[in-house]
Amino acid sequence: MKTGKEIVITTPDYPPNRLGGLSTFSATLVNALESAGMNVNLMIWNKAHQLKNINGSNKIHIHSWPIMFMTDEECRSSINFIHAAELLPYSKNIVKRFFKKLNHQRYFRKLELAKKNIFISQFALDLACKYGYQLDVTRDVVFHNRIDLTGAEYIEKNISGDEIILCCFARDVPHKNIQGTIKFAEDLAQVSGKKVTLYCGQTNHTSHKVRVISKGYSDQERESIYKLSHLNLIFSLDHVKKGNIEGFGLTPLEAAKYGVPSLGLESGGLPESIHHELTGLVLRDLSDLEVHRVWSLLLAHYQDYSRNAYDHVMQNHSHHDYAPFIAEVVQ
């Protein structure tokens, strides 16, 4: 039964459309709130100005750009999730870059009027402050991403066998660094002396040294691959001048629900998603020397990383955390 106040949630990305992690984030939040009995009115937008003059006293914007087109009064009842990239005054698109630079400080002033701003990482909050956002500890909060843990199970593996299975479900866009991911897989095969298979999303990049299995995966297929994998890779790059940066990273959590540790670069908010030498490893770079160092650590501590990853996601990143958190925010 639906109870309590109606909550309006707006997002530009929602299943079955999947432009990236925002779609998964949106669905997880909506499903968690509805499962807890909250009355959710979902609005999916194509252009941010479409959300001007929307009704409802509790408006949650999963992407904060709509606040740019709202009156000050509307801003004061808005709750915004901040992911990081939207804070940058840059874009690879010339028109968007001009708009963002022209309105950058105005965007921050609008955010400062909000009822609550929820940053998905400390990195995102620090980035906002770096660009001139005025912090208010009564308004601004860091709340790390949660995921749907339905079906989670610890699957024990080891890396002493003949094959290492890697997965990377990042989109094939420059800052997600699929080329670097494949190069790492090749280097790992050479250093370890093992057969390496890399499952990744649709890409034209290939390899003659390791097996790369590339396609668009269904949710069920992706979950099955996580269960098979030894390691999840997320080697995102800081492409600040092009408007792209990793705010947190969902795939380390998705992999961890099956006891799969992650490897990532020290980029954006990834060190908050991958806890170095606990739930995985944060690499300084993808050099040969670093690959050797990583392999040595994996040989010594893989089982610990695997168990820690599972325990950490189960204890700290459950989708069930969203309902009490949002209930407190909107009261």
Q: Domains in the chain and their CATH numbers? A: 3-143 (3.40.50.2000), 163-316 (3.40.50.2000)
The sheet with strand 195-200 has its strands ordered as 211-214, 195-200, 163-168, 231-234, 262-265, 280-283
**What pLDDT, on a 0 to 100 scale, did the predictor assign at position 4?**
61
pLDDT category at 21 given cuts 50, 70, 90 is: confident
**What pLDDT, on a 0 to 100 scale, did the predictor assign at position 172?**
81
Q: Are 330 and 7 in contact (CB under 8 A)?
A: yes
**What pLDDT, on a 0 to 100 scale, did the predictor assign at position 12?**
92
Average pLDDT rounded to a whole number, residues 87-109:
89
pLDDT 10s digits, 171-211: 888 889 999 999 999 999 999 999 999 999 999 999 999 99
pLDDT 10s digits, 121-149: 999 999 999 999 999 999 999 999 999 99
pLDDT category at 56 given cuts 50, 70, 90 is: low
Q: Are 230 and 298 in contact (CB under 8 A)?
A: no
pLDDT category at 169 given cuts 50, 70, 90 is: very high
pLDDT 10s digits, 151-163: 999 999 999 999 9
Average pLDDT rounded to a whole number, residues 99-103:
88
**What pLDDT, on a 0 to 100 scale, did the predictor assign at position 19?**
66
**What pLDDT, on a 0 to 100 scale, did the predictor assign at position 323?**
94
Please provide the DSSP assignment of 1-23 as one string.
Answer: --EEEEEEEEES--TT--SSHHH
Across all residues in the chain, what is the average pLDDT? 93
Residue 165: pLDDT over 70: yes
CB atoms under 10 Å from CB of 142, counted, come to 16
**What pLDDT, on a 0 to 100 scale, did the predictor assign at position 319?**
96
Q: How far apart are CA 166 and CA 197, in angstroms?
A: 6
Tell me if residue 109 falls in helix, strand or coil: helix
pLDDT 10s digits, 258-312: 999 999 999 999 999 999 999 999 999 999 999 999 999 999 999 999 999 999 9
pTM: 0.94
Q: How far apart are CA 306 and CA 300, in angstroms?
A: 12
pLDDT 10s digits, 82-93: 999 999 998 888
Count Cβ neighbours within 10 Å for each residue of 181-213 and write b for 16 or more, e otherwise: bbbbbbbbbbebebebbbbbbebeeeeeebebe
**What pLDDT, on a 0 to 100 scale, did the predictor assign at position 184?**
98
Highest average pLDDT, of 69-73, 215-219, 288-292, comes from 288-292
pLDDT 10s digits, 218-241: 999 999 999 999 999 999 999 888
**What pLDDT, on a 0 to 100 scale, did the predictor assign at position 1?**
39
Residue 20: pLDDT over 80: no
